[in-house]
Each structure stands twice: as structure tokens, then as C-alpha cells.
A and B are shown apart, each in its own frame.
Chain A
Amino acid sequence: MPESAFHQDNRRSTPLKRAPLISARNVAKRYGAVRALVDGNLEIHPGEVVALLGANGSGKSTLGKVITGMTRPDGGQLQFDGTTAPVTSPEHARRLGVSAVYQELSLVPDLTVAENVFLGNEPTRLGGLDRRLMQHRTAELLESFAGVFTVPVTPGTVVGNLPPSERQLVEVVKALSRQPRALILDEATASLDGRQVDRLFELMAGWRDQGLGLVFVSHRMDEIFRVADRAVVLRDGATVGQLQLRGGDDRRTAERKLVELMTGGGEAGALLLDEARPRAAVNRDAREPALRLRGFASGILAPLDLEVGAGELLGLGGLQGQGQSRLLLALFGAAPHRGSVELDGRRVRVASPRQAVRAGIAYVPGDRNRDGLLAVRPILENLQLPNWERYGTPLRVGAARKDAQMVASDLNVRLAGLDANVSTLSGGNAQKIVIGKWLLRRPRLLLLDDPTKGIDVEAKEEFYRLLARLQADGTTVLFTSSDDAELLGLCERVVVLHDGRVTAELTGPTLDKGSLVAASLGAR
């Protein structure tokens, strides 16, 4: 526990005489089996900008959601202006003076900017909407961003026609319209361009000087150092420390301290992987790489060149949403893309998942409930979903069952029977089913999007062993993970993405936590 950072901060911070605007103490929240927050603590005073930092799964977003009323906590205490107040809904939070800016969560595409800004809060005159006031106020609010809009934005513009960056700005304006005393911005800069970020920071400095309390949840080190006065770090669901940024250490030292706080310095996760270490020797001799991408771009992902050898397990690192998932999705034909894809030296077209499957590519999605499982169908149907055409007409169900049973046993899935509903399985076992459906096809390329998220330790171990076996068989694996230790322990090579670009390729001596976290944040 790097207590030095904490105490150092206490000695150097300006004594704040006013009571905190918001005080969150020992906040806990679990989603089913996953404990998103264990001991979240945060204090926000008027007239300051606090950055909330943490790696994936640290709980920073959850803490933000609790404060703004999006979720109810399971434990802990919330105080506003010194009075204890359990927040029941976002509307309640707004009435308490806390506004949140999320990523386009609350905009209706068919309505105009003014209508969206005042949605749920419309001023009325003589029983009808006071549109003039709405227009006027919205125009005033939009003025703050005058000059940085990439397309014309007026109170009458239909939100659905705006690009994501402008929609994000409308969300900011909407939060402002409530004249909040505290503003929480969760990854609000993700879709903004440089000039818009500049303007936003200017405004935030202004708001801070007017006495607002601001929380800035972000993963971008640069921005944090530009705009925040103080940084609070979360790790594994708990607040582990804070650091005074303005008037504190120099940039490099501060960054190092923050990274230390975020990573915890421990190697607990790696112990798990020692057993699973039997990695196949990666074949990177003169033969064709199993996978070659040239100029491969899709969505947030900038054109990328990549070569992966047969049997190699390549990790895609970085914080969530930097393009890793998009890469996998596009490679599977499920998202539009450009650039060339070669498997074993031959160019393949992956314009649709069906084509990808035929080319021997398999994909395990990040959200298994939404994209990977057929919730109310039996396990058998889930396992054989891509494979039914192999069993003829009428279906040789006996053969299908046998094969499915084989896969299930192979993966050590604990199930009551193949006909049991797949929703009866635990997270780990359900994930095995999602992977299992591809195993019968012996794919050449396996794309895994955060496959061990929300899975218990035992299942993870089994999964690592499976990966090792697949690698030994020559299957090439592309793998993203929200668990940095896992990534580092399993892969011999990790490509780190930040805002859609590769910021580092870590192997051998650079394959360590510090480098990974630093590269993930775009730090120097």
C-alpha cells in the first residue's frame, strides 16, 4: 500500500474549510457475482476538479453512477452538503444539484438539441411548452462551445443528424442546463476532437472558479494533468489513494506514483498463470504468418498492420474501448472495415460473419449474454449453433449430441444435461459453451474478446489450459482482456492500443505491468 503518496498529499494540500459538496464513504456495489465496488471513497469540494482514475474493473464508473443516481449502492454512505441522502434516481440527483455527463445515454435522436436539453425539464407557459425560452436558453448554453463545432449546431438541429462529438457536447450542455453544483463527467472526452477538448477544459476551469465541484473520470493521462487539481485512484473496487496534482510533484513523478497506485505493484495475478505456463513455442520462422493485416481499419481503429504466427497467442492490451474489440469484430466480418486480411498467405474476404466462419475464423464476443448465447435454449443448441448443416436432414441428433457431449466434457463443463437451459449455467461454464460452439470446427483463428470477464478462478485456470492446447494444435489466437495480469502472463507479445492506434508492442523485457499501464494511458 503506497501510503507515502497519500500522506504526502495530506501535508501539501490546501486546507479546505468548506464542507464537501459530495461525500461518498465506503460505497459498495455488486452486479450479481461481480463486486464492482468494495470500498469506494470520494470527496468533492466546491471549486475543484477531481480526476477519478483506475484501470479496467477498478470501479470508477460504478462510483460515478452511484453518485449520480444511476445505480443504488449496496452499502456505504452518501452525503450532499453534509446531509446524508440516499439518491433514488438520476432525477433525484439532479434536484440535489448533481448532474452527470455520460456518453450519449440520454439523447433522443428524433428530437432537436433544445428539446433534448430540456427533456424532462421543459419550461411551460400557459399550459404549453415555452419553446422560445427553450431556444433562447439552449442558444445561450451552446455559446460556450461556439467556434469548436465541426458542423453547425443550433437549438433547432435534430440530434440524430449530429456526429458523435457534437452529440457529446449536447450532453454536456444538457447537464449544464440544470445549473448543477456538482458535475460528473464520465469519459466525456472520448468522442471529442482536440479543439473541443480544449474548450471543454477552459469551461471546466471557469466553472471550477465559480464554485462548482467537478469530477472527471478518464483514462487519458494527458487530459488529467491538464484539467484536474487532484486525482483519486481506484483499484479493484476500492479507493487506494489520492494525489494532489496542481502544485504537487512534477509530471513524471506524479505519473509514476499514479501508475503505482493503479497497478498496486503486486504480482498476485501472475501466480495463477504459472501452472498454465505450458505455452507452445511460437513458430515465427520463415513461413507465412498465419494472419496478416495490412491497412486494416474500422471505426475507431486506425489503419493497422499486423502479423501473427501460427499458434501464437497475441494479446491486445490497453484500456477498454480503444479499438481492441472493434478489431476483433471487424476481423470476424461483423463490422465494416477496409484493408486486407490474409490467412496463411491467402487473401480472404470477411464481409459477413458467415464468410468469416467459412474461412475458419471463430469469435467469442465480449458480452456473452447479449451476443454469445441463446438464453432460453438448451445447451445442445448453443453448442451446435454454427454446425447444424453438418448433421444432414433430418438432423442426426444422436451424432450432434455425442459431439456436443464430447466438447462439454473436454471443457469440463459442469452441467445437468445437454437439454438443460443454458441460463442455468454459471458464468464460467456459460463462457465455455460460447467457446465450445467453435471447437468442433477446429478454427484456424480464434478471436477472444475479454473471455475471462466475470469468471471464477477455477474456470479461468481451465481456460488457460485450453488456450495452451489450442496453441499447441496450431490455432492462432487474438485475445483482449480487461485483466492486465492475465494478458501479461499468457501472451508472449502484447500490442497496446490507445485511441485506436498502436502505442506499444511489448515483448520480452518490456512485457511488464508498468509498461503496459503506461502505454495504456498514452503516458510517456
Chain B
Amino acid sequence: MPAAELSENKAGHRVDYTGAKMGMWIFILTEILLFGMLFLLYSIFRFRYSPEFHSSATEMDLFLGTANTAILLTSSLTMAISIEAIRKGNKGLSMLCQFLTLVFGAVFLVNKYMEWGAHISHGIYPHSPQMEQMGRGKIMFYSLYYVMTGLHGLHVILGVFVIAGMLVFTARGVVNRHDFVKIENTGLYWHFVDIVWIYLFPLFYLIA
């Protein structure tokens, strides 16, 4: 990295913009491999138990799944707008859009909670007596469903907390129009979480 790209922020700490962005991209690469391997498992067991996967998918709540997709896509929009706003120095709009992103993330989690709650109330949860009696294919579908949407949900929870932190940073001026790489990286992470859901949605909800 050219030395001229290193500079100092207001507090006198060295700031390396390219390094910061690269760090987040590399982290996203590791996440791609993490989720990618779960998708690999999905593809194998979907091939082995195709009819059971198709029939289990009919038990998914298509409306909630579609709503969640729209919610996350909109949250990506508000995230992008919030970064654009702070780039122009518009602190108020940026904070508003960050807050909206937070809200959308929370709504997504509430929907997930309701969905999982419905399945659990029907007796479908890991190691339940009902699940032990299901055929192998259905067990695999629901196992993958819980693990993949669960891991994704954990990422959403984490993202919500990080965005809340960014909100505080923006309010305090730590994130400002001259030094906003923190919120750019948060945006990268949030968009990645959105992309994972973009793939999860058709594979679990639309294969009925």
C-alpha cells in the first residue's frame, strides 16, 4: 500500500483506508466459504432425498419467507443510503437510515422467531420425538433448515448490534464525512448477510 494512503484521523491514530476495506473483504471471503460448505451439504442431501425435500418445503411459510426477503433487501437499501449520506456529511439522514436498517433487521428476526416457533410448536425441533420418527430425508431438510437459517440469524443479530454501535459512533462524530470506513465495512457485512438470505430463500421456500 502506498504510504500516501496512510493518514491520521482526528485523534491522531493512523488510518489505513485500503487496509480496513481489505480486512472486511477477506473476512467476507471466509464467511463465503463457511456458508458455502453448508450449501454444499444442502445440495448433496437435496439430491439424495429430492422428494422429501420437495414435500418438506411445502410446510414452509412462503409469505413470511418472501416478506423476510423484501425486508432484508430494503434494509440493504437503507444501509447504502446511510453510507451515501455520511459521505456527504448528512449526519441526520445517515443516522435515520442506520436506525431504519436496525428496525428492518429486528423485524426480520421477529419473523424468524415466529416461523421457528410455529415449527417447534408442531414438534419439529432437533432431537424431538416427532423428528426421530420422520424419514431420513425430512430429518435432513429440517436439520439443514435450522442450522443454515440459524447461523444466518446469528449473523443478523450480530449485524444489528454492530449497526447500533455505528449509530452511536455517528452520533458522537467518530464516524464522519472524512473517516467513515467503519460504517462502509458494516455495510459490506450487512450486504453479505443479505446475499446469503437471497440464496437461502429459494432453496428452502421455493422448491415445493
Query: Do the two shown chains form a genuine complex with each other?
Result: no
B residues within 8 Å of A by Cβ?
none
